[in-house]
Structure 1
Amino acid sequence: MYIDKVKVGQNIRKNRKEKEMTLKELSSNICSIAKLSNIENGIGEISLEDLEKISIKLNISLHDLLPKSEKFYLDQSRIAYARIEDLIRMGLNDLAQENLEKIQKDDLFLPIQIKYLNALNYYETRNYHKSMHFLFDIQNEKPNNELGRELISKAYNLTGVIYYTLGDYTSAQEMFEYALNNSTNRQWTNLVLYNLLVVYSTKGQVMDARFKIGEISYNNFPYHQKIRYIKTILDVLEGDYNQLTEKIFQLRNEFFQMKDFDSFLKTILFFVYIHDKHPKIFGSYLIEVESFILDIADINKIPENINPILITNILQTMTLHYLKQKDFTKAMDYLQHAFVYKEKYPYDPMNAFTFFLAALVSNQTKDDKETQLSYLKKAMNQIQFGQASVLKGLILYQIAKLEEHETSYWKQAADNFYDSMFLNNYFSHITLSLLMPDLLY
């Protein structure tokens, strides 16, 4: 970025004297007195980052230090940053990467901005390992300006989103708390508080979740429907089913009108969840929900703005639901739909659970060990290398059970672990994380 050093230097001196600050006071924690003197005299180099620090120290806008040409250039840099961010969020990740590579050596952006855009792009392509590399790098920065603090807070928040996605809710909560401590404005604070609300709700900590709702300022938060939806989940966790179906149908209509189709689909999972708890009361609603699921299961008809991963989650949930009901015909029907999505997204980690369910269905219907082993090993191949998870442990157990026949305490311990997870936790109900609306970042 070209900067008219003479005009910028004159503007710095003018504002410094108006604030009655000495060179020593202004240069403190920014640069040496000699360097600031040279900058004011138009003979010293100055970076955009140092200019931001100086403007903060003078309690003025960065625009106030720049001539008109530089103000225009700065506005252009903000527009360019927003354009790349939009490309990433729209899923045009290859194009976003091309733009990022072009600006690596350009002074248009601060290094921390480029790091965050790289992290965001890798996150959106589900390359969490590379995304975390940039995010941890940002977290080690020591910001001296508002932009730096803002991006560090965003880095902590996005790290929390990744931990949550991987099922590490304790680490996610810790990252969101760090993001909250580094927040620079009320609107961003609300967003992070919302993410903490989702974590507490997922962990079943109802009281903590309700406290977080009380901390969110509704005047600066546009996601009121999402919070009402979470409140409904909290009511169910406390055993309050009063006017539940009416509340869910109202929220479904609102989500659909807002074109928030992901949250709309979550309400379908919610119906399955409450049906599992009270099948006699909510059985009639499940019939309606099933009809809708089968309508959207056709991959050739799915609108572009509906998340295919979420549809796969719904199909997997229905497969598991009927597997527990021992209705293997319906379980197989939903599983076949899930396999269609597996063919379109062959490398997605979500397919691990599809293969695992296929092994369970095969065990219940054919008892063909070779088929079961084939499905289980395919499931293992879908799980990211080095990623620990309960699902991975259950898959390994099933493989060992099919391949080994010796009786030992190790085997008894594994049998006990598997049975307890199968009956009491992993398969006893839909996990709360599936019900929650998406995190914000």
Structure 2
Amino acid sequence: MKGSLIKQNRKLRDLTLEGLSKGICSVSYLSKIENNTIQASEKIYRLLGERLGIRLIDINQEFDEEIHQTLLSWHEASQLRDFTLMDHLKNKCEIALQENHNIDLLNLFKVIAARHHMTKTNQLLDNGLYKELEGLLVNSTNEYQFFYHKVIGLHYFLKFELKTASQHFLKSLSLLNQISYNETEIYFHLSLTYSHTRQFVESNVYGKKAIEGYKKSLNYSKIVDSIMVIAINYNRMNAHTIAEKYFLDLLKMAKYQLKPLEKRRVFHNLGAIYIHQEKYDLAFDYLKRASSIETDENILKSNTTYLLALTCYYNGDIEKSKEFLASGAVLAEKYNHIKYKHKLFTLKCRMNNTMHEDFFLQKLENQIIPDLKQSNDFEDYRYFLELLAKLCFEKRLYKKSATYFKKANSINHSPKKDLL
């Protein structure tokens, strides 16, 4: 075990075998020490430790089950986003590992600390930490690999590199049966990732597995989150009646327990469903209820305001629609929500009957469509491609119309290829 500790710290300090062994022992001898095939003298361990700046003499390398359980509890606290408990358990682990130098426990500490940081800051791993965690994979335990692929999957999910994220989550899932840790979150991560890639069947399968697991652990908040993902999937599959049932059941089941943000999302999505069903009065009612709930998620504010403007437009209340257009434009500009700037602009042009004008077609072709493609918002990207194709057809620009219809249809028929 000392050999693994030496090798790990040597790589962290970018030292070669030659650089570390110089004046202490031969390169081949150090290589055997690092691979734990020989036991060196205390003097050599002391000299290597001094060069690396670590202690290698009289250290406790036993696998302490109590420390192990504290590490797992710390990871669970990160899943629950209990920041106070996270900080307490992190400190407890740091103190315990000052006296215990078991390499497997130290490695688990590092990968769980990375999750701790990401949970508290919602930020990506920096390059140094990413490479350090990757470097620990060699000869690591199944448990370390499980947590590693979860953390790296989250890293890529936050970068919206969804194909890479799903690959890491699936690797983590493949290790689940080889560890003693009871885990449900990996199913939720897969459900959420597949929802974003519009692989709704796969998302719902993993979402239902997540619900089963969270029911056993009585994690009410994550049950709600998992149901929400499934309901949104059905909505995006245009199975609006099924989606409506999920959201209404969620309101009924969780009437007094839903957090304000969760309730806002339910109201918002029901409003969107009723727009599709052309029940505009009902849509307006749910969207107004959504907008009355304060949220720090500014993009949700822009989204709800846009849908209110759209609902009023479809319902024939043009003046009210203009009011929401104006307030939505202020929000979109304030928070630089490019998508909603474009959607509000499009609705305004629709309202003013200027969608066939050259200025709108040029903006649609040269700015709106490229922006949505770059942001990976492929549902709206496809919608605006189809809109441009229809407008070009109506202006008898048949060749251009056919080109854009073909692009839109290619997204319909091969969403995975287009997105990933």
Q: Shorter-chain-normalised TM-score: which range?
A: 0.5 to 0.7
Query: Structure 2: how far apart are the matches of 1:387 and 1:247?
Result: 31
Query: Structure 2: how far apart are the matches of 1:120 and 1:67?
Result: 24
2:230 to 187, 196, 201: 196
Q: Could you say which residue in structure 2 is the equivalent of 1:6?
A: none
Query: Structure 1: how far apart are the matches of 2:72 and 2:189?
Result: 28
Partners of 2:271 and 2:285 within 8 A in 1: no
Partners of 1:200 and 1:209 within 8 A in 2: no
1:51 aligns with 2:68: yes
Q: Pairwise mapping of residues 375-394 of structure 1 onto structure 2 (< 5 A)?
A: 375=404, 386-387=414-415
Q: Could you say which residue in structure 2 is the equivalent of 1:21?
A: none
Partners of 2:157 and 2:165 within 8 A in 1: yes
Query: Structure 1: how far apart are the matches of 2:302 and 2:127?
Result: 31
1:125 aligns with 2:159: yes
Per-residue CA deviations over 1:102-136 (Å, capped at 9, x if unaligned) read: 22234899322221222222223332222221122
- How much does 1:343 deviate? 5.3
Query: Structure 1: how far apart are the matches of 2:170 and 2:211?
Result: 17
Query: Structure 2: how far apart are the matches of 1:335 and 1:219?
Result: 48
Per-residue CA deviations over 1:5-39 (Å, capped at 9, x if unaligned) read: xxxxxxxxxxxxxxxxxxxxxxxxxxxxxxxxxxx
Partners of 2:247 and 2:266 within 8 A in 1: no
1:164 aligns with 2:195: yes
1:336 to 363, 374, 379: 363
Query: Structure 2: how far apart are the matches of 1:252 and 1:377?
Result: 38
1:229 to 263, 268, 288: 268
- How much does 1:291 deviate? 3.2
Query: Structure 2: how far apart are the matches of 1:245 and 1:275?
Result: 8
Q: Could you say which residue in structure 1 is the equivalent of 2:400?
A: 371
2:335 to 303, 306, 326: 303
- How much does 1:178 deviate? 0.8
1:175 aligns with 2:220: no
What percentage of aligned pairs have identical amino acids? 9
Query: Structure 1: how far apart are the matches of 2:61 and 2:339?
Result: 54
Q: Could you say which residue in structure 1 is the equivalent of 2:245?
A: 207
Query: Structure 2: how far apart are the matches of 1:111 and 1:71?
Result: 23
Q: Could you say which residue in structure 1 is the equivalent of 2:134?
A: 104
Higher-RCO chain (CA-CA 8 Å, sequence separation at least 6): 1
Counterpart AA for 1:176: G
Q: Could you say which residue in structure 2 is the equivalent of 1:284?
A: 319
Query: Structure 1: how far apart are the matches of 2:131 and 2:353?
Result: 54
Structure 1 residues 355 and 136, CA gap change in structure 2 (3 angstroms): same
Partners of 1:252 and 1:264 within 8 A in 2: yes
- How much does 1:233 deviate? 5.3
Q: Could you say which residue in structure 2 is the equivalent of 1:254?
A: 293
Query: Structure 2: how far apart are the matches of 1:361 and 1:239?
Result: 24
Partners of 1:201 and 1:209 within 8 A in 2: no
Structure 1 residues 100 and 386, CA gap change in structure 2 (3 angstroms): farther
- How much does 1:176 deviate? 0.8
Q: Could you say which residue in structure 2 is the equivalent of 1:69?
A: 96
Q: Could you say which residue in structure 2 is the equivalent of 1:361?
A: 391
Q: TM-score scaled to structure 1, two decimals?
A: 0.56
Query: Structure 2: how far apart are the matches of 1:125 and 1:384?
Result: 24
Structure 1 residues 310 and 213, CA gap change in structure 2 (3 angstroms): same
Q: Pairwise mapping of residues 412-423 of structure 1 onto structure 2 (< 5 A)?
A: none
Query: Structure 2: how far apart are the matches of 1:291 and 1:277?
Result: 17
3-state SS of 1:259 partner:
coil
Partners of 2:197 and 2:416 within 8 A in 1: no
Partners of 2:264 and 2:289 within 8 A in 1: no
Number of corresponding residues: 327
Q: Could you say which residue in structure 2 is the equivalent of 1:216?
A: 254
Once the two structures are overlaid, the 10-residue window that deviates more, 118-127 or 70-79, is: 70-79
What RMSD over aligned residues (CA atoms) do the two structures have, in Å?
Answer: 5.0
1:115 to 149, 158, 179: 149
- How much does 1:181 deviate? 1.6
Q: Pairwise mapping of residues 419-438 of structure 1 onto structure 2 (< 5 A)?
A: none
Query: Structure 2: how far apart are the matches of 1:96 and 1:67?
Result: 21
Query: Structure 1: how far apart are the matches of 2:157 and 2:190?
Result: 10
- How much does 1:189 deviate? 2.4
3-state SS of 1:149 partner:
coil
Gaps of 5+ in 1: 3-41, 393-441
Partners of 1:312 and 1:341 within 8 A in 2: yes
3-state SS of 1:254 partner:
coil
Q: Could you say which residue in structure 2 is the equivalent of 1:149?
A: 182
- How much does 1:327 deviate? 5.0
Structure 1 residues 80 and 242, CA gap change in structure 2 (3 angstroms): same
